[in-house]
Structure 1
């Protein structure tokens, strides 16, 4: 993985694998005369820098991304003769980055500089050329391919919570540990239906073609940082991103020092989707289950955590549900005169007009100042993540039959400094703040090119009904220029008047799962309202 020499194995014999080396440069006369290729402009020192960066700074996955970003695939523009059937299906253009410039080079120069073979290169860029005879040997029968697609499409899925605006991927419910685990379940299903299972490689390719992924919707790494590491964005863009990240972290640490008897500083986030029932039975793999949501607000000074728990039969995950939880939390702490709330920038959850109107209504009626602050995208680690981590550990290898058992686990997940507080809420808890039109808009600008809602880094709601914002945490507060619709607050109505109906297919699946549940829990699933 580091390009060093190692002892490999071929069949039953051990062989020595040589270390990766930068090979000699391209000396072809055609490259020297070509006006499109810049092989001669890159000296040996620059080639050495590229080679050391490729094998010394990047891991194996990043090397693949790096190679793909420097190779352009296009259709063949000219074929020499129509009589001869060529195996060449695409044209490849290779580039090397030198002093911030992408210089086109021949393929030999590209491969020799990076120290990789053509086989790996063609495989990584997705244009590995194979003979017609070999293609015929690996061709998959239509019946087997159709069964594989049917297997994958029938698995229950959930949309990405953290990236739904930027990703169309569908995520399998969090039941499978890896692709290998999923493939093993596929082979068992094939055996039960008398179908010859396809290989792991064909399975993985089909999985990607269907735009599916295992349930990892919360981004572990920052897209901007990964793109810079792979050489796909300019240093100036990445440096600006890092400044914003460091400003947000420094601001959060500064706010923690401000916490006292009159100022409450908290962070909040929604835990990854919980499913019910949660069992080890294989019957759950192919059935839709009830979604359970846990929204956590964490006091960064006292380390107290309040968890709001509900399932999809009682409420959804719109801005009104989260606004109801946040306002309830603020109202249960009447001794404080100022609140500072930290969160990520999830639009429908933390940065929207519904929540802003709810907080402005609270600030004006209770005469309390409320400030919302947002962390930089891709770097949203917060103290409330530790609560979710503790809960996940307690749930490991534990069966959950009904949502109320999640409540029991959360209450007993921590003992010091004090147990987590839990509010197991139903449909009557949620309020409809969408009709509270005190504020018209939270967009800082009004014209094309002006800052948008996504550029907000902080919003402050004052007791006199005014609102202020920051585009950088280091900026001074600026007043919103959008006029308010009215200064008087309106009363809010209940969001729901009855439990929410779940989909008919999900209710059918939950009924079918009762045979793996103790009979004591059957009445809960029978009572669920459905379409």
Structure 2
């Protein structure tokens, strides 16, 4: 593979190298100039400065007035050139092709050098002439680009925020769209914009900001495993195999529970998830991209037997999206399901929302105070949490793709009308007065939150299933 130089614009060009060819000319260049001598000449030439290279050409090329004419018609060619290179016997005349290939230069380089016949050593004038192409990029221009990039409000990844610092812009933006907005701003400020390549370079080298936040976690372990060498894969092969086994076990169990709930009325199987953040305002005008965005949250429950959907919607001025908020939504949902022998939950493995002590307290309160005998909460393997509720979020996103949202109430109406067929999505607006403090309840009720009855440490992020029983008002952790 040939080495390449990378230009500031990101364009790649071949690095200069010696081009040794047998020219088969009358000067016998290939025989008179050995490869070692040719390599030495090439290295010495490119070690010189710009002016030194021009002096070398003048010293080794003779420009003479054309002495012989072969045609009667007039010719634009008035001069001829004689080319010389050094070998162990001194200067040796060579042909033009061999000379240019040895130095890896073009014919225009020679002609331009001799066009500067004022006797003064040539100076490199690149980047010194007036004009936009040679304009030196100042630190002020770079700072202007940085200020513009930072003027766009960013949000954290909903699913990956605990494992990455990467932030995201709203999905309607792109690097090209941002650059066009930057040019408009420069025009309004009577300022000359930098080229696109520089804007792109600053964005991707100085900022950890992406577009189109992922709808679901990318499985970091599977992704890393695919990029490992064969030796590394062999070391972690067993671990990866168990990871895939747990993924399949969770899916197989959900399939069995779905079959059960279709046959038995007293069993309810529900999966739930929090949709990615819905932003307000959502408009397609330039000024809206710079405005501070208000986050709206949509927590969705999906009944696998009836396919009924409930959407609990609130904005960040009312509440956050932590464990108490999620637990409150399910507490309200469970109050209305009536008498059930068993409720089975399926969710992703987000520790901050539903894989924690606060959520367990909520489930214990449900089996203690409502006619529900058992609650079983199953967690999908991290990075593999595809479920039926995802189709609800996809429907909402598709139906609102071209709609503008001016307030959180617009999202409420849009979610209600997102599905065209029956049953429609049931939308419930949640206010801060509805939020129950399960953290305070956990602190006052639970003294031991780290060890089980056997004295073993409970690793919350590794729990695949938790069961809650009304008969004993206790919880049992399975397979941790």
CA–CA distance in structure 1, aligned partners of residues 330 and 274 of structure 2: 12
Match among 139, 143, 147 for residue 142 of structure 1: 139
Alignment match, 2:184: 188
Residue 262 to residue 212, structure 1, CA distance change in 2 (3 Å): same
Partner of 1:250: 252
The 1:156/1:466 distance shift into structure 2, 3 A limit, reads: same
* Mapping of residues 5-44 of structure 1, within 5 Å: none
Q: Residue 171 of structure 1 aligns with which residue?
A: 168
Contact 1:410–1:422 under 8 Å retained in 2? yes
| Structure 1 contact 294–307 (Cα < 8 Å) conserved | yes
CA contact (8 A) 1:175 1:285 kept: no
Aligned residues: 342
- Cα distance, 1:219 vs structure 2: 4.3
CA distance in 2, matches of 1:352, 1:200: 47
Is the 2:339–2:371 Cα contact (8 Å) retained in structure 1? Answer: no
Q: CA deviation at 1:237?
A: 2.7
Q: Give TM-score, length-normalised by structure 2.
A: 0.66
CA distance in 2, matches of 1:451, 1:138: 63
User: Is 1:432 matched up with 2:432?
Assistant: no
Contact 1:358/1:436 (8 A) holds in 2: no
Contact 1:155 1:172 in 2 (8 A): yes
Matching of residue 461 in structure 1 with residue 465 in structure 2: no
Structure 2 match to 1:420: 425
1:289 corresponds to which of 293, 317, 329: 293
SS of the aligned residue for 1:249 comes to helix
Offset at residue 185 of structure 1 (A): 2.1
Question: In the TM superposition, what is the alpha-carbon distance from 1:268 to its structure 2 partner?
Answer: 0.6
Among 145, 152, 156, the alignment partner of 2:153 is: 156
Aligned residues of 2:153 and 2:290 also touching (Cα < 8 A): yes
Deviation at 1:270, TM superposition (A): 0.8
Query: Which aligned pairs between 1:91-106 and structure 2 lie closer than 5 A?
Result: none
Following superposition, the deviation at residue 278 of structure 1 comes to 1.7
Question: In the alignment, what sits opposite 2:391?
Answer: 386
Contact 2:160 2:217 in 1 (8 A): no
- Indicate the residue corresponding to 1:237 in structure 2: 239
Partner secondary structure for residue 340 of structure 2 = coil
* CA distances 1:383-433 after superposition (whole Å, capped 9, x unpaired): 101001111111011122222221111112224341111101222221111
Q: Secondary structure at the match of 2:399?
A: helix
Range with greater deviation from structure 2 (276-285 or 138-147): 138-147
Aligned mate of 2:350, from 346, 352, 358 = 346
Q: Secondary structure at the match of 2:352?
A: helix
Provide, for residues 190-234 of structure 1, a one-character-per-residue CA deviation record: whole Å limited to 9, x for no partner: 332233333444323322322222241444632222222222552
**Does the alignment pair 1:222 with 2:222?**
no
**CA separation of 1:135/1:302 partners in 2, compared to 1, >3 Å: closer, same or farther?**
farther
Q: What does the per-residue CA deviation read over 1:484-517, in whole Å, with 9 as the maximum and x for residues that have no partner?
A: xxxxxxxxxxxxxxxxxxxxxxxxxxxxxxxxxx
TM-score relative to the length of structure 1: 0.60
Note if contact 1:444-1:453 (Cα within 8 Å) is conserved in structure 2.
no
1:276 alignment partner in structure 2: 280
Tell me, in whole angstroms, the C-alpha distance in 1 between the residues paired with 2:212 and 2:227. 25
Cα separation, 2, equivalents of 1:256 and 1:236: 30
In 2: Cα distance, 1:449 partner to 1:351 partner = 18
1:64-79 counterparts in 2 under 5 A? none
- CA spacing shift, 1:358–1:448, aligned 2, 3 Å: closer
Provide the rounded CA distance (Å) in 1 between the counterparts of 2:184 and 2:219: 37
Structure 1 spans left out of the alignment, 5+ residues: 1-83, 86-131, 473-531
Alignment-derived partner of residue 266 in structure 2: 262
1:359 counterpart (347, 358, 363): 363
Q: 1:444 to 1:296 in 2, by over 3 A?
A: farther
Aligned residue number for residue 376 of structure 1: 381
Verify the 8 A CA contact 1:290 1:311 in the aligned structure 2: yes
> Paired residue for 1:202?
198
Q: What SS does structure 2 have at the residue aligned with 1:350?
A: coil
Once the two structures are superposed, the pairs formed by residues 113-152 of structure 1 within 5 Å of their partners are: 140-152=137-149
Q: Measure the CA separation in 1 of the matches of 2:126 and 2:257.
A: 64
After TM superposition, give the deviation of residue 445 of structure 1 in Å. 6.2
| Rg (Cα) greater in structure | 2
CA distance in structure 1 between the partners assigned to 2:295 and 2:407 by the alignment: 11
**Structure 1 pair 256/138, CA: closer, same or farther in 2 (3 Å)?**
farther
Q: Deviations over 1:6-44 (max 9, x none)?
A: xxxxxxxxxxxxxxxxxxxxxxxxxxxxxxxxxxxxxxx
Structure 1 residue 189 displacement after superposition? 2.2
Q: How far, CA to CA, are the matches of 1:449 and 1:141 in structure 2?
A: 61
Contact 1:171 1:215 in 2 (8 A): yes
Structure-2 separation of matches of 1:400 and 1:169: 26
